[in-house]
Structure formats: structure tokens, C-alpha cells
């Protein structure tokens, strides 16, 4: 009788009338005083604080909270932020004074990444995938002391919704694990709505405090008004060729599941896919990932039966999430947690970008051509691993620097999970995928050896200079399952 804590029935005590509970009173969760709240949370040196990035470059919450933590004199914080943007450049002094000692994130861009690459973080940065982040929080490899959840809307009890409020951002998929597992969960909002606030992404039973602030973000930095297909003819050529590749895989048929990013070329692929599906009367299963208006249009046109949305990229996506029951919310774990059943494992095709690729098909989206942190896996590792076919789309040169290397600067996604590269000068297939090579030969689709394409690029542009690195390892590129796949080195200024 385990539920009795292994006690014998005779040892169980029945409470007396005097011990009967009184009627419960709702907890008072609302506060406007961040300083007092930080004291109340009892945060100590070395605390682990988490944030999500659904407000993207419009986010004000992370800076606001961390500056207050700095004022409180708490040091050695491990910052677990699902992504960091140029807006978070204000945190550089907090690296220098030791307020922030370690960072765990899935993407970093702007001045903060540059400062870390130049050695300003005293500890280390761990670069995770979105699915890897959810895994590490849910299995308590990372134990969060307090999760400050930027909330476009909340009610007094802490029901958080991403679709309501002036700074609505849509789904809050990346914050779900934090909400479930953090020791303390704080909804930070500028839009307090009547109880109950619905549909709630995180419900009140997981929320300890509701912090009212003047503004959680700048709308223009949170979502794009519209996302647009590239007009660049080279990008369009790559997208067109990608559709041919997709056709040759044999996966463009009823029931297809698909994911692509919101970059110009990826959107162009989605746009061509839409035309193809209409022309060939194909009804897909689902599309997933960050969702744009292009995909919501396809949902409404019946080209997909549902959308799995972990992040809304534009206003149209937010509107769709609000009104369309087939537009589904997806947590980071449901998206790509490798320890559970996840959506990426059901994907047919994913279209991914890259900063560079090497002749073993390893991909770097973590550092730029100068070795400085300027990105991160996001869902890259997860979707590449889970999908039946992963396709990298990229120009062969970027600012006159060849895209294909002997060895990428930092391995973000291992080549063993990357199947195809499409550039404007040729299509390469990973030799591990002989099945695809055979299909492409049958379809008369010309493929080139990635080494030959590299040689061609270097013949035109020359071999790029080696990046000058320091000795110090400043961070680790973590694979989605928690294993480490590469070091990240300091870069000389």
C-alpha cells in the first residue's frame, strides 16, 4: 500500500474536528515591486534563472530582471535563456562584474555574443538545441531556481496567455518546460486581464508570482508585420531547385509533413511548395516549427491539416493561432525533446539554413565566418535528426566567403544527420544517403560531389583566411541528447 507511505492502516491517524481545514483563500500573487520580489525569492549567489525568447528582439524583461539582480548584489548567476538577441547587449556589464557567470542558450546574436566570444563571460556558454533545452530542464539536468516568464497577458492568479495583450507574441512553446520545472515561476506582464485569462499557455497552478511592469517589450521587435519571400534571383533559383529535390525524394505526396524556417530562401521554398501542392492536388499532414503567414494560409487552403507552432513569426500567425483550432500550440519538448516522442520524429522534410558546411556535411549555425557567436542550433539539430530528409539551402558564397569548408568552425549539427545541400551552383547529397542518390539518378537530377563544389568556390573566391582563435575554451556545443559535439573557442579582438 504505497500510497499510505508504507504505513499500516492501524497507524493512519484521522484528523479531529478541530483540525478540519478552513475554506481556502486565493493566494495573493500580484506584485509591482521587482526588488522586493527578488528578496522574497531568496536568490543566492550561483542561482539559476531562466527566460524565454518569444519576445525576440523586442524583449525588455530579461534586461529588467537581470539589472535588478545586479543591484541586489547577487553574483555567479547561470542564465538559462532560450535565446538572446541584440536587445540584450545591455547585459555586457553584468558579464564583466560577475553577475552573470554562465549562460545556457539555444541562440545568441548581437553584441552579447561578440562580448562572450571575446572572453567577457567568466564561466562558459553552453549552446543547446530547442529540444535539448527542454530535455535538460525536464530531466532536471538543469535545475532552475526561478523562471521569469515574459507574459503578453496574465490574470491575477497567473494564467499566462501569449495571444492576448498589447504585446501578444502567439504561442509560448519555449517557456513550458521552465513553467513546469522551475522552483519558482514568475509571470512578468504588462497586461493584467480579468480572471480567467484564456487560452492559457501556462496555467496558474504552475505560477507563483505575477509581476506587473510598465512594458514587457517593443511590439515591432517581437513579430514582423509580414514575412516576405526573397526577391533575390539567386535565392529563388536555390528555392526552385530545392523543390525539384523534394520532388525527387518521393515525399511530395498526400500526407507530407514539412518544416522550414522564416528566412527568405526557406519562405520561397514554402511558397513554391504551395504552388506545387495546389497544382498536383496534394493534401499534406502537418507543418511545424516557427510559423509564418505563409503556413497559416496553407492551413486555411487545406494544404495541411494542422500546424504545430512553437513560435509565431508574424502577426498573421498570431491571429491564426487565436482563431483556428487546427493551429496547435507546441512546447519545446513536444517539438524536439530526444528523450520522449516528439514532432520532429514525424517530419518528412525539413529545410534549414547554415552559416557554413564542411565536406562531411557538418553544419555550423553557431558562429560566423569570423568565429564570433552569432546564432545557434534552435531547432536545427532536432529537425535534422528527426526528419526523413534534411535539406540545407544556401548560397555558395556569402560576402565573397565560400560556404563549404574542410571543417566548420563549430559543429552545431552533425553531418550524419544532414542529407542534402542545395546551392545555386549545385546539389550535393550526403554519401550516407545512397537511397537518395539512387532516387536522384532515376529522376535525372544532377548531383555534384561536395568536395568538387568546394574546389569550384575556392577557385573563384580563394580560400578564406583561418580565424585567429585564443587558447581558452569559452563554451561548448551540446548535442540535443546532452553529449558534447564541439568546443567553442575565444576569438582574438
- What are the distances in angstroms from CA 443 to CA 437, 438, 446? 10, 9, 9
> String of b and e for 326-335 (b: at least 16 CB within 10 Å)?
ebbbbbbbbb
Q: Among 12-20, 24-32, 75-83, 236-244, which window interacts with other proteins (CB under 8 A)?
A: 236-244
> Does 424 participate in binding other proteins (rule CB under 8 A)?
yes
Q: Within 10 A of 353 (CB to CB), how many other CB atoms are there?
A: 18
Residue 425 found at the interface with other proteins (CB under 8 A): yes
Pairing mode, strands 363-364 and 420-423: unpaired
Q: Are 248 and 277 in contact (CB under 8 A)?
A: no
Q: Contact between 319 and other proteins (CB under 8 A)?
A: no
Give min distance, CB of 394 to other proteins, in A: 14
Q: Which of 192, 234, 282, 443 binds other proteins (CB under 8 A)?
A: 234
Nearest to 415 by CA among 428, 396, 400: 428
* Binding segment toward other proteins, per CB under 8 A, in 128-136, 203-211, 226-234, 374-382: 226-234
Cis-peptide, bond into residue 196, ω within 30° of zero: yes
Question: Which three cell numbers, joined as nine digits, stand for 123?
Answer: 564561466
Q: Are 487 and 476 in contact (CB under 8 A)?
A: yes
Q: Which stretch binds other proteins (CB under 8 A): 137-145, 230-238, 255-263, 484-492?
A: 230-238
323 binds other proteins (CB under 8 A): no
Q: Please state the separation of Cα 442 from the chain's center in Å.
A: 37
Within residues 427-466, the interface with other proteins by CB under 8 A covers: 460
Contact status: 236 vs other proteins (CB under 8 A): yes
Beta bridge partners of 215: none
C-alpha cell at 470: 585564443
Q: How far is the CB of 445 from other proteins (least distance, A)?
A: 14
Report the C-alpha gap between 312 and 90 in whole angstroms.
25
Question: Total residues contacting other proteins (rule CB under 8 A)?
Answer: 9
Minimum Å gap between C-beta 245 and other proteins is: 16
User: Which of residues 118, 120, 228, 237 is near other proteins by CB under 8 A?
Assistant: 237
Q: How far is the CB of 451 from other proteins (least distance, A)?
A: 19
* Residue 282, CB-side half-sphere exposure with 13 Å CA sphere: 21
Distance CA 379, CA 365 (A): 11
Q: Does 267 bind other proteins (CB under 8 A)?
A: no
**What is the helix, strand, coil percentage profile of the chain, to 5?**
35, 25, 40
Cβ closest to other proteins, residue 52 vs residue 454: 454
Q: For residue 233, state whether it binds other proteins (rule: CB under 8 A).
A: yes
| Backbone torsions φ then ψ of 48, nearest 5 degrees | -110, 115
231 binds other proteins (CB under 8 A): yes
Q: Which phi and psi angles does 211 have, rounded to 5°?
A: -100, 120
Q: Which is nearer to other proteins, 231 or 465 (CB)?
A: 231
Residue 228 near other proteins by CB under 8 A: no
Beta bridge pairs of residue 284: 304
Looking at 93-101, 140-148, 228-236, 291-299, which segment touches other proteins (CB under 8 A)?
A: 228-236
* 264-279 vs 233-249: helix crossing angle, rounded to 10: 50
Part in contact with other proteins (CB under 8 A); list of ranges 148-156, 229-237, 258-266, 409-417: 229-237
| CB of 238 or CB of 363, closer to other proteins | 238
Which x/- pattern, by CB under 8 A, does the window 368-407 give for other proteins?
A: ----------------------------------------
Grid cell digits, residue 76: 555567479
As measured in angstroms, the least distance from the Cβ of 309 to other proteins is: 30
Q: Is 4 in the site for other proteins (CB under 8 A)?
A: no
**Which residues are at the interface with other proteins (CB under 8 A)?**
231, 233-234, 236-237, 240, 424-425, 460
Amino acid at each position: 500500500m504505497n500510497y499510505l507511505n508504507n504505513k499500516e492502516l492501524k497507524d493512519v491517524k484521522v484528523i479531529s474536528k478541530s483540525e478540519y481545514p478552513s475554506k481556502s483563500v486565493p493566494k495573493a500573487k500580484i506584485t509591482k515591486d521587482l526588488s522586493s520580489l527578488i528578496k522574497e525569492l531568496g536568490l543566492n549567489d550561483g542561482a539559476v534563472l531562466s527566460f524565454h525568447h518569444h519576445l525576440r528582439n523586442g524583449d525588455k524583461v530579461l534586461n529588467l530582471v537581470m539589472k535588478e539582480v545586479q543591484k541586489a548584489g547577487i553574483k555567479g548567476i547561470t542564465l538559462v535563456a532560450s535565446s538572446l538577441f541584440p536587445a540584450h547587449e545591455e547585459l555586457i556589464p553584468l558579464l564583466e562584474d560577475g553577475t552573470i557567470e554562465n549562460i545556457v542558450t539555444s541562440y545568441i546574436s548581437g553584441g552579447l555574443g561578440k562580448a562572450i566570444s571575446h572572453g567577457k563571460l567568466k564561466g562558459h556558454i553552453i549552446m543547446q538545441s530547442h529540444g535539448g533545452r527542454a530535455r535538460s530542464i525536464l530531466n532536471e539536468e538543469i535545475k532552475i531556481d526561478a523562471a521569469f516568464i515574459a507574459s503578453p497577458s496574465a490574470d491575477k492568479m497567473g494564467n499566462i496567455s501569449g495571444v492576448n495583450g498589447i504585446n501578444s507574441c502567439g504561442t509560448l512553446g519555449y517557456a513550458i518546460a521552465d513553467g513546469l520545472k522551475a522552483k519558482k515561476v514568475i509571470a512578468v506582464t504588462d497586461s493584467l486581464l480579468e480572471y480567467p485569462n484564456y487560452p492559457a499557455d501556462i496555467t496558474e497552478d504552475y505560477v507563483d508570482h505575477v509581476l506587473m511592469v510598465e512594458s514587457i517589450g517593443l511590439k515591432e521587435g517581437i513579430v514582423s508585420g509580414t514575412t516576405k519571400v526573397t526577391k533575390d534571383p539567386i535565392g529563388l533559383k536555390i528555392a526552385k531547385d530545392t523543390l525539384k529535390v523534394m520532388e525527387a525524394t518521393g515525399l511530395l505526396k498526400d500526407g507530407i509533413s514539412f518544416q522550414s524556417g522564416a528566412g527568405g530562401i526557406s519562405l520561397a521554398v514554402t511558397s513554391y511548395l504551395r504552388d506545387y501542392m495546389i497544382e498536383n492536388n496534394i493534401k499534406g499532414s502537418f507543418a511545424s516549427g516557427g510559423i509564418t503567414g505563409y503556413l497559416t494560409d496553407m492551413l486555411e487552403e487545406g494544404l495541411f491539416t494542422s500546424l504545430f507552432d512553437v513560435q509565431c513569426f508574424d502577426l498573421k500567425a498570431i491571429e491564426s493561432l487565436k482563431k483556428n483550432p487546427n493551429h496547435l500550440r507546441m512546447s519545446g519538448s513536444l517539438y524536439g525533446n530526444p528523450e520522449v516522442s516528439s514532432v520532429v520524429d514525424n517530419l518528412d522534410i525539413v529545410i534549414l539554413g547554415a552559416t557554413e558546411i564542411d565536406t562531411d556535411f557538418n553544419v555550423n549555425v553557431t558562429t560566423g565566418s569570423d568565429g564570433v557567436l552569432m546564432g545557434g542550433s534552435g531547432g536545427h539539430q532536432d529537425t535534422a535528426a528527426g526528419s526523413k530528409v534534411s535539406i540545407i539551402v544556401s548560397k555558395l558564397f556569402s560576402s565573397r566567403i565560400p560556404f563549404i569548408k574542410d571543417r566548420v568552425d563549430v559543429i552545431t549539427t552533425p553531418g550524419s544527420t544532414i542529407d542534402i545541400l542545395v546551392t545555386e551552383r549545385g546539389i550535393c547529397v550526403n554519401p550516407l544517403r545512397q537511397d537518395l542518390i539512387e532516387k536522384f539518378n532515376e529522376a535525372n537530377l544532377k548531383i555534384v560531389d561536395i568536395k568538387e563544389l568546394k574546389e569550384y568556390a575556392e577557385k573563384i573566391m580563394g580560400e578564406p583566411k583561418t580565424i585567429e582563435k585564443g587558447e581558452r575554451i569559452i563554451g561548448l556545443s551540446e548535442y540535443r541528447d546532452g553529449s558534447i559535439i564541439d568546443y567553442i573557442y575565444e576569438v582574438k579582438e
